[in-house]
Amino acid sequence: MPMGAAPLRQLAAHAVDELTDAARKILADHGGSADRPELLKDVAQAAKNLDETIHHACRPVDTDAGLFVLRGLPVDDTEIGPTPASWATAGDSAAEWDVRLLLLATLMGRPIAWEGQQDGRFVHNIVPSPGHEQAQTGASSTVLLSPHTEDAFHPGRAHLLMLGCLRNHDAVATTAASIRQVRLDPADLALLSRPVLPILPDDAYAEAQGYSGPPPRIPALWESADGPTLRYDPAYTPLDEAPADYRAAYDRLTAELERVSVAVSLDPGDVLVVDNDLVVHGRVPFKARYDGTDRWLKRASVRVPGRRSRPPAEADEHGYGQAALVADV
């Protein structure tokens, strides 16, 4: 897997200062906590007034790679404090970064959160956690986090995924592969466009895993007006229930995604923006130390109003009882 040179969008110094000042003011106005619903209204208002260069940097993904990196935001490795032991103990650690991400997310669309994940927070802490080393979630470490669509089980999943890097001393890479760069023959495309299998909720959604409704069968691929999109999470797809020809086509899709996959090692201050309709992402294995110096990302999810990139049938899915919280911006 090659190390990828993701398309780079460099933030100008004056724009970084403006964004940082706005985040600090909002955070101070809310007592230093980014976990207050009323904060989102101030974020929305401040985002409108940010410099045009920041708006331009947050324009839609515009290459078949399906991603880009925003660069230029400062991180003080001492000031942010130690990497939390888990999302549950992170609290308002490095809360200024939560607000920065929310400002950027609001320029791209509408930030969303989930009632059933990380206590409904709009910005998640992604850190390795003891006891979860082999899980297929962001808390894992020693296992390869398989490439997947974020929240693939849910029809209300994000259009864009944002990963802000606070600490990455070990240069742990995020993997990414775009459906717009694979080569599949027409027969495979036809097979994978059929609603054959469900995608089940992942281990980050314990309540959803207990949902009693029948799992909806969904297509892995969909041809939108702009080109192919995908909905893919093999770790939570019961592939052994599919006919042999479908499994073979799915395997060829997996092989193609592996072929075009790149590994993006984020530096502190980088924000990776991934089009969740085009790109599957994962993470290479690493050895966590649990000493406060491990990799630490902040994650935000964004819906883009008016986007038409998904099959109409998704509107009838139950989402395994999970409700998305959408920022009113």
Give percent of the chain with pLDDT exceeding 90. 89
Predicted confidence (pLDDT) per residue in 234-274, tens digit? 999 999 999 999 999 999 999 999 999 999 999 999 999 99
Give CA–CA dist 235/136, Å, rounded.
7
Residue 318 exposed, middle or buried by CB count within 10 Å (0-12, 13-18, 19+): middle
Residue 214 exposed, middle or buried by CB count within 10 Å (0-12, 13-18, 19+): exposed
Predicted confidence (pLDDT) per residue in 27-36, tens digit? 999 999 998 8
Whether 301 has a pLDDT exceeding 80, the answer reads yes
Q: In which band, very low, low, confident or very high, does the pLDDT at 19 lie, cut at 50, 70 and 90? A: very high
Whether 329 has a pLDDT exceeding 90, the answer reads no
Residue with tokens 């995608």: 199
Which residue from 132, 150, 121, 117 is spatially nearest to 85, judged by alpha carbons? Answer: 132
Residue 28 exposed, middle or buried by CB count within 10 Å (0-12, 13-18, 19+): exposed
Give CA–CA dist 101/111, Å, rounded.
9
Q: In which band, very low, low, confident or very high, does the pLDDT at 37 lie, cut at 50, 70 and 90? A: confident
Give CA–CA dist 202/42, Å, rounded.
33
Average pLDDT value over all residues in the chain: 95
Question: Which pTM does this prediction carry?
Answer: 0.95
Whether 2 has a pLDDT exceeding 50, the answer reads no
Contacts of 88 (CB under 8 A, 6+ apart): none
Predicted confidence (pLDDT) per residue in 154-179, tens digit? 999 999 999 999 999 999 999 999 99
Q: Which fold has domain 8-326?
A: Double-stranded beta-helix (3.60.130)
Q: Report the pLDDT value the prediction gives residue 1, as an integer from 0 to 100.
A: 40
Total Cβ atoms within 10 A of residue 88: 12
